[in-house]
Amino acid sequence: MSVLDIHVLGSPVLRQETTPVTEITPDIQRLIDDMFETMYAAKGIGLAAPQVGRRERLSVIDVDDNRFVIINPEIGVADGKQKGEEGCLSIPEIYGDVERAMHVLVRATDREGNPFEVDATDLLARCVQHEIDHLHGRLFIDYLSLVKRRAALAKWEKLRQGERSFIRRLNPQEAVSRQHRDEEL
């Protein structure tokens, strides 16, 4: 397994629609394993394929020891509301309050190609919605008010200090020194 580079805000792949996975190949399974390793290295709780520059419709999630991959996920039921702070491994150190459904029922395919359902509430539901958004080119900052989004983007540009690359190469020190790390998805 290997830790993959993470694409950050500005990389076009983050805004593109993904392609449904039609067959579980060794390549897909390796991608899933590498994405788990990358997510743990980055101290995140979720990671979607576009964040590692891939177009396959799949995301990995690990919330409160609930670890699974969702391939071709579809939200069947969404009800209730919750508002809470979100971050994203592709927009490090930027956070904002996002309203999400409190409960979702999601149909997906697992690593072996079997269909299954995720019945998620609270933080897990938030994470699942965030990761499914990634698979359709949406980012949490899209939900912020205009004023808050502008402030977040200004902070992001400041943090980048003129950096022109949209690839984030993880190193262990960076991962452990940052605060809020468990809230990035």
Residues that bind Ni ion (CB under 5 A): 88, 185
- Residue 182 is encoded by which pair of tokens? 């468990």
Nearer to Ni ion, 22 or 66 (CB): 66
DSSP 86-99: EB-TTSTT--EEEE
**Smallest distance, Å, CB 23 to Ni ion?**
26
Considering the candidates 56, 86, 131, 183, report the single residue annotated as catalytic: 131
Q: Phi and psi at residue 35, in whole multiples of 5°?
A: -70, -40
Of all residues in the shown chain, the one whose CB is closest to Ni ion is 88
Nearer to Ni ion, 31 or 185 (CB): 185
Phi-psi sector, 174: left (phi>0), alpha (psi -120 to 50), beta: alpha
Neighbour tally for 133: CB within 10 Å: 20
Return the residue matching tokens 């670890």: 67
**Smallest distance, Å, CB 25 to Ni ion?**
25
User: Taking the alpha carbons of 108, 113, 116, 120 in that order, is the dihedral positive or negative?
Assistant: negative
Active site residue 163: no
Nearer to Ni ion, 28 or 39 (CB): 39
Active centre residues (catalytic): 131
